[in-house]
Amino acid sequence: LAKTTQPISMDSYEGQEVNITCSHNNIATNDYITWYQQFPSQGPRFIIQGYKTKVTNEVASLFIPADRKSSTLSLPRVSLSDTAVYYCLVGDIQKAGGYNKLIFGAGTRLAVHP
Amino acid sequence: DTAVSQTPKYLVTQMGNDKSIKCEQNLGHDTMYWYKQDSKKFLKIMFSYNNKELIINETVPNRFSPKSPDKAHLNLHINSLELGDSAVYFCASSRDRVGTGELFFGEGSRLTVL
């Protein structure tokens, strides 16, 4: 199973762009990269998912280099409400039961300051 | 309507007691999970059920017994509670077909064992 490594914590200020990088050196060919966000006292919430290159949605962008050994979650112009823990996961979700292999690491605790 | 709902949200009990946490999802998903989040915020999968069949049991003590009466419900019963069982327990669900790797989490049940 692919293991992920992320910074334990990051600090930013309102209006800045935040980039959180995740390392997954032993990612498998069929693995996708998924990011979740967790606010205090809530369950994790899906943010974005990708396989290669760049993916963008209304919340974030995900940059994945050609070797796929890392990925970067980019949050544009963060606000105080983006203060949360962000988890990077890798796993093969393109087959039945693949979700069962998704493993959450320690995550990155992002603190956004005024 | 809440997609994945858990009850109770808070549970305080004494060591040695038996308690249950209930989970229901109204998303029509085939697979449900129980995760445990400890004080260090690590999220660890405990069990996974697919269409009422247990498919993952991550070396959880047999004091923990999941029960799935139907694919929309997954309950967690814990016997002889210990101090180390204090944690937040999250229920989640997913479509068990090829598709997006999105897990839908409940809001968590905080268990405190005294």
In chain B, which residues have their Cβ closer than 8 Å to the Cβ of A49?
A: 100-102
Structure confidence at residue A1 as a pLDDT band (50, 70, 90): low
Q: Which one is predicted more confidently, A98 or B58? A: B58
> Hey, are the CB atoms on A104 and B31 less than 8 Å from each other?
no
Q: For position B56, what pLDDT does the model report?
A: 74
Q: For position A24, what pLDDT does the model report?
A: 92
Structure confidence at residue A100 as a pLDDT band (50, 70, 90): low
> Hey, are the CB atoms on B43 and A42 less than 8 Å from each other?
no
Q: For position B15, what pLDDT does the model report?
A: 97
Residues A24-53: tens digit of each pLDDT? 999 989 888 999 999 988 999 999 999 998
The answer to whether residue B22 scores a pLDDT higher than 80 is yes
Structure confidence at residue A2 as a pLDDT band (50, 70, 90): low
Partner-chain residue, chosen from A45, A49, A106, that has the shortest CB–CB distance to B101: A49
The answer to whether residue B25 scores a pLDDT higher than 70 is yes
The answer to whether residue A103 scores a pLDDT higher than 80 is no
Euclidean distance between CA atoms A70 and B86, whole angstroms = 34
Q: Which amino acid is at A21?
A: T
Cβ proximity of A83 and A10 under 8 Å: no
Phi (first) and psi of residue A9, to 5 degrees: -150, 160
Partner-chain residue, chosen from B4, B35, B41, that has the shortest CB–CB distance to A106: B41
Q: For position B43, what pLDDT does the model report?
A: 86
Q: For position B49, what pLDDT does the model report?
A: 86
Q: Which one is predicted more confidently, B99 or A57? A: A57
Residues in A lying within 8 Å of B, measured between beta carbons: 32, 34, 36, 41-46, 49, 85, 87, 89, 91, 93-100, 102-107, 109
The answer to whether residue A8 scores a pLDDT higher than 70 is yes
Q: Strand B4-7 relative to strand B19-25: parallel, antiparallel, unpaired?
A: antiparallel
Q: What is the mean pLDDT of residues B22-37?
A: 92
Q: How many residues belong to chain A?
A: 114
Class of domain B4-113: mainly beta
Q: For position B97, what pLDDT does the model report?
A: 56
> Hey, are the CB atoms on A100 and B33 less than 8 Å from each other?
yes
- Angstrom distances, CA of residue A30 to CA of A64, A88, A99, B8, B36: 14, 16, 12, 38, 27
Please count the CA atoms within 13 angstroms of the CA of B80 that sit on its side-chain side. 3
Euclidean distance between CA atoms A89 and A2, whole angstroms = 8
Enumerate the domain spans of chain B. Answer: 4-113
Q: For position B39, what pLDDT does the model report?
A: 82
Enumerate the domain spans of chain A. Answer: 9-113
Q: For position B59, what pLDDT does the model report?
A: 72
Partner-chain residue, chosen from B41, B44, B92, that has the shortest CB–CB distance to A85: B41
Euclidean distance between CA atoms A91 and A3, whole angstroms = 10
> Hey, are the CB atoms on B96 and A99 less than 8 Å from each other?
yes
- Angstrom distances, CA of residue B104 to CA of A38, A49, A62, B11: 12, 14, 20, 22
Partner-chain residue, chosen from A95, A102, A107, that has the shortest CB–CB distance to B103: A102
User: Among A3-7, A41-45, B22-26, B39-43, which stretch is predicted with the lowest mean pLDDT?
Assistant: B39-43
Euclidean distance between CA atoms A40 and A34, whole angstroms = 20
| Residue A39: CB atoms within 10 Å | 13
In chain B, which residues have their Cβ closer than 8 Å to the Cβ of A99?
A: 31, 94, 96, 101, 103
> Hey, are the CB atoms on A100 and B45 less than 8 Å from each other?
yes
Q: For position A95, what pLDDT does the model report?
A: 63
Choose among A7, A89, A2: nearest CA to A44: A89
Euclidean distance between CA atoms B68 and B59, whole angstroms = 19
Please count the CA atoms within 13 angstroms of the CA of B6 that sit on its side-chain side. 29
Under CATH, domain A9-113 is a member of which superfamily?
Immunoglobulins (2.60.40.10)
User: Among A29-33, A34-38, A78-82, B55-59, which stretch is predicted with the lowest mean pLDDT?
Assistant: B55-59
